[in-house]
Structure 1
Amino acid sequence: MTTAYLLDREVSHVLAALTPSNRLVCRVCLHTGLRLGDVLALRTQQLQPHFWVRESKTGKRRQVGLPAGLLADVKEQAGEVWAFPGRDPAKHRTRQAVWADVKRAGKAFRLPQNVAPHSFRKVYAVDLLRRYGDLDRVRRALNHGSYATTMVYAMADRLMAAKGRAHTDRAGGVCER
């Protein structure tokens, strides 16, 4: 089962229900579009306003940036080695721990769709397409090789609307499609 796109209010609900440390991980996912595993593998020494990440799934390099406030929040809780340390400081937090917390948060709000950390990557893609209107820019930001894959992500809100779920626009209005 594929993960679903989340409306703005659903993102807010899920983030509010997460533990503070997992909320921070998901905020980085939302801001960068990185996959969960790549966010968790960030090392403390990488934490600069702009830094390079080698994506574990594709092996491709990508430059990402974090706004000052988010960067400060990540640095504040970072360990000596890992930006998101696990219970054992020699290891980073696990994907499974964040995934379980996101699933719990989605269930707490009785969200009908399959909510997982990858949902935040789809939200990032939709936001990027809305902001710039350039599918190629979204494709490059997600490091996709195929426009077809990018379209599934960047148009997730439209696919959701076609299935009959309400769509919330950036101004906060709700419209049925």
Structure 2
Amino acid sequence: MKDKLEDFLFYLKFEKNMSPNTIDSYRRDLEDFIIFLQKEKVNIKNLKREEWQRYLVSLYNRYKIKSIARKISSIRSFLKFLLREGYINRNYSSFMIIPKIPMYLPEILDNKEIENFLKIPDPLSPLGIRNIAILETFYATGMRVSELVNLDVQSINLEEKYVRCFGKGDKERIIPLGDYAVESLKKYLLVRDSFNPKDEKALFLNKKGERITRQGVWFIIKTYSKILGLPKKVSPHTFRHSFATHLLSNGADIRIVQELLGHSDVATTQIYTHIVSSKLHEVYQKAHPLTRRNDK
């Protein structure tokens, strides 16, 4: 079964052009499933409904609904691949139902909270200057953290004020840079050599002079969030959510926001319209005199 898994991952990489992070996610999901099959001595060519249900129980005991849905989707894709390759001759999708994920509104930062984040780094130290540039780039572009850490120096054009990045499936997109982001990046590039670059191409470097990692960026944002004492859960993706929500709140067309975020389906972008609607309703409830009649 392990060799079939490697064949599938090869297919994802070279035929579906999926990113290394996505492939790693598939690998983890499928290795967990394969371990179950081996432990229970289940033959994948004759998987029974009750055997699948036992695996489902184990998933629900360990994971949240969103992770479970992703794992089932990974397994379905793998089995579809095995069916097409002739390794199995049964379609198991009839009882491998992906659970419906309840819609939730992601946390966002308001303008004041963004400003407070940007006040924390020391604007006179190389690390502080780098961190300001990272935060400004996040908020100016709405990039995923994986996209930001993979930026090269050549990815940014500060004269034309844009950045070129590669998203899921290595899809290229051009994102404008605002004045604050441009200025922060210019200041960072002036001190970048103080990190003693070992990676000449990488834009953002860590203390060792190597390309900063996703974990490094997470640590910066988590640390700053604790300093601010924010009650909400803040991650690099919170800046992406904030970017999209603030654009829509200020009248940006949803199709433009979709392009900037790199969403293949506008339905994914529409979650942010629900946030805007929720915020508008909240403002209305606080501001409209008729909503306060019962307070008199």
**Residue aligning to 2:191:** 77
**Residue aligning to 1:170:** none
C-alpha contact (below 8 Å) 1:122/1:154 kept by paired residues? no
C-alpha contact (below 8 Å) 1:125/1:154 kept by paired residues? no
Question: Among the aligned pairs, what percent are the same residue?
Answer: 25
**Residue aligning to 1:106:** 225
C-alpha contact (below 8 Å) 2:166/2:173 kept by paired residues? yes
SS at match of 2:170: coil
> Cα distance 1:156–1:77, how it changes in 2: closer, same or farther (>3 A)?
farther
Larger CA deviation: 111-120 vs 143-152: 143-152
TM-score (norm 2): 0.49
**Residue aligning to 2:22:** none
Give the Cα separation in 1 of the matches to 2:231 and 2:276: 15
Number of matched residues? 165
Larger CA deviation: 35-44 vs 69-78: 69-78
C-alpha contact (below 8 Å) 1:47/1:75 kept by paired residues? no
- Mapping for residues 151-166 of structure 1, pairs under 5 Å: 151-159=270-278
**Residue aligning to 2:260:** 141
Matching residue within 208, 231, 246 for 1:127:
246
C-alpha contact (below 8 Å) 1:47/1:71 kept by paired residues? no
C-alpha contact (below 8 Å) 1:25/1:40 kept by paired residues? no
Which amino acid is 2:204 matched to? Answer: F
Question: Relative to total residues, which structure has the larger helix share, 1 or 2?
Answer: 2
> Cα distance 1:76–1:103, how it changes in 2: closer, same or farther (>3 A)?
same
Give the Cα separation in 1 of the matches to 2:205 and 2:147: 13
TM-superposed deviation, 1:176: 7.0
RMSD: 2.8
Give the Cα separation in 2 of the matches to 1:160 and 1:53: 31
4+ runs deviating over 6 angstroms: none
Deviations 1:77-104 (A, max 9, x none): 3353221112332x31111122112112
C-alpha contact (below 8 Å) 2:153/2:201 kept by paired residues? yes
Give the Cα separation in 2 of the matches to 1:120 and 1:22: 14
Which amino acid is 2:270 matched to? Answer: M
Gap runs ≥5 in structure 1: 168-174
> Cα distance 1:117–1:176, how it changes in 2: closer, same or farther (>3 A)?
farther
- Mapping for residues 1-177 of structure 1, pairs under 5 Å: 4-18=107-121, 20=128, 21-48=130-157, 49-55=161-167, 57-66=168-177, 67=179, 68-79=182-193, 80-89=200-209, 91-159=210-278
Deviations 1:116-158 (A, max 9, x none): 1111111111222233431111111111122222122354354
TM-superposed deviation, 1:75: 2.2
TM-superposed deviation, 1:50: 2.8
Give the Cα separation in 2 of the matches to 1:135 and 1:159: 17
SS at match of 1:42: coil
Give the Cα separation in 1 of the matches to 2:224 and 2:258: 29
SS at match of 2:175: strand
Which amino acid is 1:149 matched to? Answer: T
Gap runs ≥5 in structure 2: 1-63, 65-103, 122-126, 194-199, 289-296
Give the Cα separation in 2 of the matches to 1:130 and 1:160: 9
